C-alpha cells in the first residue's frame, strides 16, 4: 500500500490553493479604523509615486523644447502609466510566478488603498478627507519668472467657473473646487501642479503676503511708461467709472494717473498725485486728503491669472496651441544619420 502522505502533487496543489488565502491586515487607518493590508510606509510611498514624486523630471519632460521659457503646459496624467509605475515598484522581489500570483492576489486591495491614500498626501489643515476611487488626474507645468519671483503662488482649480466671476474664491469644501493633489516647485522657475479631476478654470494668484501699493504701467513709447490706478469711491471703497458711477470690477473702473517725480524715475510724486485725487469729484473725497484715503486709492490686491475663463473666447483653435517641434531640422538629422552609417 502507498506509504507517502505528502506527494509532490499534493504540495503543488496546496501551494496553488494557498494563493487564495485570506488577506492579512498589517495596518489600521487612523481615521476610519479600517484594516489595511498594505503597510503604511508602502502605501504612502506608492501614493506619492502615483503623484509622480521621485519620477525623474526627464521622464516627464523629455526635451526642454517641450517646456519653453515663460510657458505653461496643461496635461492629463495617464493612469495606465502610473499604474505601471506602481506595479513596477511592487514587482521588486517578485521573481517567479509564485511570487507574482501572490502579488496579484493582493493587487486589487493595494490599488484601492493607494487610491484613498493618494488624496491624503497633501492634506492642508482644515481640509476634509476625501474618499472614493481615484479618477482623472490633470495638472500643469509652469516655467516662468513668476514662479521664481513670487514664491508661494496660489493655485486654485474649479470644475466650473465660480459664479461667472474671476474674483470669486470658493472654499476648499466647495464641490466645484478641485482638490489640489500636488503643488511643488521642481526648479526655481518650474512649478508642477496636479488636480484631482478636470478643471474648467484655473486661477494662479500672487501670494497674499500683505497690503501693498501698486500701479499699472502702460507703455506709451519705447521704454516710456505711464502709470495709473483704478479709481475708487473712498466713501464706499467701490470702483467708479468715468461717469462717477460705482462699478463691480476693476476692469470697468476709471484710470487715475499716478505721477512720478521729475528726474527721478520710479519715485512717486505723492503731493501731485494726492492733489489729482482731490481734484477728481467722483472719488467722494472731501476738501482734504488724509492718509487712509490715499492708501485706499493706492492699494493693489494680488494679481490673479485666470486660465480657461469660458467668457473669454478666442479666434484660434485651442487644440493647436501645443504643437511639438524638433529642435533639429530634418536636414540636420539626415546629416547625422549619414555620419553614423558611414562610421559602421
CA atoms of 134 and 138, how far apart (whole Å): 12
Give the binding range for another protein (CB under 8 A) out of 97-105, 112-120, 152-160, 285-293: 97-105
Q: Which residues 148-207 are close enough to bind another protein by CB under 8 A?
A: 186-187, 190
User: Considering Cα of 75, then 190, then 130, then 55, what sign does the dihedral take?
Assistant: positive
Site string for another protein, 124-153 (x = CB under 8 A): -------------------x----------
Q: Is 283 helix (H, G, I), strand (E, B) or coil?
A: helix
Closest distance to another protein from the beta carbon of 71 (Å): 11
Cβ closer to another protein: 97 or 314? 97
Closest distance to another protein from the beta carbon of 271 (Å): 48
Q: Does 306 bind another protein (CB under 8 A)?
A: no
Q: State the helix-helix crossing angle for 79-90 and 97-118, rounded to 10 degrees.
A: 130
CA atoms of 120 and 129, how far apart (whole Å): 7
Residue of the chain from 37, 61, 169, 276 that contacts another protein (CB under 8 A):
61
What CA–CA distances, in Å, run from 313 to 278, 279, 284, 317? 39, 39, 36, 11
- Are the CB atoms for 36 and 28 separated by under 8 Å? yes
Give the total of residues touching another protein (CB under 8 A).
58
Closest distance to another protein from the beta carbon of 154 (Å): 20
Q: How many CA atoms lie within 13 A of 41 on its CB side?
A: 0
**Rule CB under 8 A: which residues touch another protein?**
1-12, 14-16, 19-20, 52-59, 61-65, 67, 83-84, 87, 90-93, 95-101, 103-105, 107-108, 111, 143, 186-187, 190, 326-328
Amino acid at each position: 500500500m502507498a506509504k507517502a502522505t505528502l506527494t509532490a502533487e499534493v504540495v503543488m496543489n496546496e501551494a496553488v490553493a494557498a494563493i487564495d488565502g485570506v488577506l492579512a491586515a498589517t495596518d489600521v487607518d487612523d481615521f476610519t479604523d479600517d484594516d489595511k493590508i498594505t503597510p503604511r510606509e508602502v502605501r504612502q510611498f506608492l501614493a506619492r509615486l502615483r503623484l509622480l514624486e521621485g519620477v525623474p523630471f526627464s521622464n516627464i519632460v523629455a526635451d526642454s523644447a517641450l517646456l519653453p521659457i515663460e510657458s505653461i503646459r496643461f496635461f492629463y496624467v495617464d493612469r495606465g502609466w502610473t499604474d505601471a509605475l506602481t506595479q513596477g515598484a511592487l514587482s521588486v522581489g517578485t521573481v517567479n510566478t509564485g511570487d507574482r500570483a501572490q502579488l496579484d492576489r493582493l493587487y486589487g486591495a493595494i490599488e484601492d488603498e493607494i487610491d484613498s491614500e493618494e488624496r491624503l498626501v497633501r492634506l492642508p489643515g482644515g481640509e476634509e478627507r476625501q474618499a472614493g476611487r481615484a479618477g482623472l488626474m490633470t495638472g500643469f507645468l509652469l516655467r516662468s519668472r513668476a514662479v521664481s519671483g513670487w514664491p508661494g503662488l496660489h493655485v486654485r482649480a474649479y470644475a466650473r467657473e465660480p459664479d461667472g466671476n474671476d474674483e470669486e474664491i470658493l472654499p476648499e469644501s466647495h464641490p466645484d473646487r478641485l482638490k489640489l493633489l500636488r503643488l511643488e516647485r521642481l526648479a526655481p522657475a518650474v512649478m508642477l501642479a496636479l488636480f484631482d479631476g478636470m478643471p474648467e478654470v484655473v486661477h494662479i494668484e500672487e501670494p497674499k503676503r500683505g497690503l501693498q501699493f501698486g500701479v499699472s504701467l502702460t507703455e506709451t513709447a519705447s521704454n516710456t511708461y505711464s502709470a495709473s490706478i483704478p479709481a475708487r469711491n473712498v466713501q464706499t471703497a467701490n470702483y467708479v467709472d468715468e461717469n462717477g458711477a460705482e462699478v463691480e470690477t476693476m476692469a470697468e473702473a476709471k484710470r487715475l494717473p499716478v505721477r512720478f517725480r521729475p528726474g527721478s524715475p520710479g519715485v512717486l510724486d505723492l503731493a501731485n498725485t494726492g492733489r489729482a485725487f482731490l481734484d477728481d469729484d467722483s472719488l467722494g473725497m472731501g476738501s482734504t486728503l488724509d492718509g487712509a484715503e490715499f492708501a485706499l486709492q493706492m492699494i493693489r490686491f494680488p494679481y490673479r491669472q485666470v486660465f480657461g475663463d469660458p467668457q473669454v473666447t478666442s479666434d484660434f483653435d485651442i487644440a493647436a496651441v501645443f504643437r511639438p517641434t524638433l529642435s533639429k531640422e530634418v536636414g540636420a538629422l539626415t546629416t547625422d544619420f549619414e555620419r553614423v552609417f558611414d562610421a559602421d
